[in-house]
Structure 1
Amino acid sequence: MSGCLARRSLLAGLMVTLATRAFGHDHNAPPVSPRPRDPLATQFGGPFSLTDHSGKRVTEADFRGRFMLIYFGFTTCAETCPIDLPIIAQALDALGPLAAKIAPMFISVDPVNDTPAVMAAYVANFHPRLIGLSGSEAELAAVARAYKVHRRKLTQTHHGHGEYTIDHGSLTYLMGPDGRFLTLLPHNSGAERMAGVLRKYIS
């Protein structure tokens, strides 16, 4: 099995468990609550050093004390990002004052096109608190590995020379104020569901 397929298989299995926890499909399971000793806490996340959409260098340590809500994508994405980013924005608005405890992040998987200026214009379309993060190929590859995000550049020869898109993971990651992984939210979760899951962790 290739590395990409192996990661997808692992994530698929984890998503079944996490979706059951988050959305209550298993009526015999205990209520959802943060579990600092959850073994999944070691599966996702880690240090990163990136550039935010204002041009400032930031690391994961700059967000200590807040929950990090992290989504990976790119500014010319035509499929998943235009669905999930509005859901994140609507979920933040639904939380009201509780949303101040969350640092919502959009991490680029496209180091070629997604400069800070491009990211600034893009994230402004969705929510004023959304933080766009980009970096070099090495920096983005490192953070993608830490979060087990697959990304694959696909050349689009029928669109002209040099045109491409990127196949990428579409999960949303919730990290605790200590930087430890808490849960995953699947693609197209819905704003109401996402807000409900977030509220359980942050309230």
Structure 2
Amino acid sequence: MTPKEKRFAVIAAGILAVAGVASYVGTRVALHYGPTLNTYGNEVGGSFRLMDSTTGTMTDQTFRGRWMVVLFGATHCAEDACTPALTNMSAALDRVDPGKRKAVIIFVSLDPDRDDAERLRLYGQSISPRVVAGTAAPGPLEDLAKEYHTTVEKRPDPEWTYAMQMSPRFVVMNPDTRYVGTVDANLSADDMTEALKKIMKQP
């Protein structure tokens, strides 16, 4: 390699290193502060941006045109409440949307330290293809929880050290991302089905 080629290689490596650092810093800043949320005029709910279970990014606009049923919790969920709630809601949606194309469950993990993309993917997969799980940095999660009228709450747990409290209700957003109601997360699948029929105005 000639001296000129060596200089070029060093300069190129330097540029790549600087670009890599800038990209890393930019990503960390974006994750920490997150985007400004927009309620769209809703009483409850609105915009969101989450790291999804395939390491990509999903937003409320990703699901525009479909019903979104949103629940907050974690894979380490207090009283193991999240899995039965998600399972029952999935069964209820299968009854009101048998084609499985009109509705999706958005599961927001409040525990980004432990719920990485792979864990969320496996967790959602273990329950239903309807469950799309995502998370964000602590700051944006706090803001998002407030937007959806819930809280980020840790509970002591003898096995896991701590567990995250599940939100008490699913928030239902229509295909135009408008808030239309809530469904108690502790209901049975049958009762969730009846609640969804009323909210979605199905016979």
Q: TM-score, normalised by structure 2?
A: 0.71
Q: CA deviation at 1:119?
A: 0.4
Matching residue of 2:44? 44
Query: Match for residue 66 of structure 1?
Result: 66
| Partners of 2:112 and 2:142 in 1: CA distance | 9
Aligned equivalent of 1:133: 134
Give 1:171's aligned residue.
Answer: 169
Question: What SS is found at the alignment partner of 1:100?
Answer: coil
Distance in 1, Cα, partners of 2:166 & 2:83? 14
Show the counterpart of 1:188. Answer: 186
Aligned residues: 160
Deviations 1:85-133 (A, max 9, x none): 1101211222343542112111111111111111001111110121011
2: CA distance between counterparts of 1:46 and 1:95? Answer: 23
Distance 1:101 1:48 in 2: 19
Separation in 1 of the partners of 2:95 and 2:72?
A: 22
Q: Which residue matches 1:12?
A: none
Q: 1:68 to 1:172 in 2, by over 3 A?
A: same
Q: Gaps (5+ residues) in structure 1?
A: 1-40
After TM superposition, list the pairs within 5 Å mapping 1:110-129 onto structure 2.
110-129=111-130
Q: Which runs of 5+ in 2 are unaligned?
A: 1-40
Residue 124 of structure 1 aligns to a residue in which SS?
A: helix
Amino acid at match of 1:51: M
The structure number with the bigger radius of gyration is 2
**CA 202–59 in structure 1, closer or farther in 2 if over 3 Å, else same:** farther
SS in 2 for 1:151: coil
Q: Report the aligned-residue RMSD.
A: 2.0
**Alpha-carbon shift at residue 65 of structure 1 (Å):** 1.0
CA contact (8 A) 1:88 1:191 kept: yes
Local SS of the residue matching 1:97: coil
Per-residue deviation, residues 157-176 of structure 1 (Å, max 9, x unmatched): x66xx821223422111101
The CA distance in 1 between the partners of 2:99 and 2:190, in whole Å, is 15
Distance between the aligned counterparts of 1:45 and 1:116, measured in 2? 23
Deviations along 1:54-105, whole A, 9 cap, x unmatched?
Answer: 1111111111111101111100114321321110121122234354211211
Which of the pair has the greater relative contact order for Cα pairs under 8 Å at 6+ separation? 1
Aligned with 1:45: secondary structure? coil
Q: Within the alignment, does 1:93 sit opposite 2:94 as a pair?
A: yes
- Using a 3 Å threshold, how does the CA distance of structure 1 residues 187 and 104 change in structure 2: closer, same or farther? closer
Q: Which amino acid aligns with 2:76?
A: T
**SS of aligned partner of 2:98:** helix
Structure 2: how far apart are the matches of 1:44 and 1:70?
11
Conserved 8 A contact 1:48-1:142: no
- Give secondary structure in 1 for the equivalent of 2:45: coil
Q: Report whether the alignment pairs 1:198 with 2:196.
A: yes
Paired with 2:175 and 2:97, the residues of 1 have a C-alpha distance of 19
Whether the 8 Å contact between 2:68 and 2:104 is mirrored in structure 1 is yes
Paired AA for residue 192 in structure 2: M
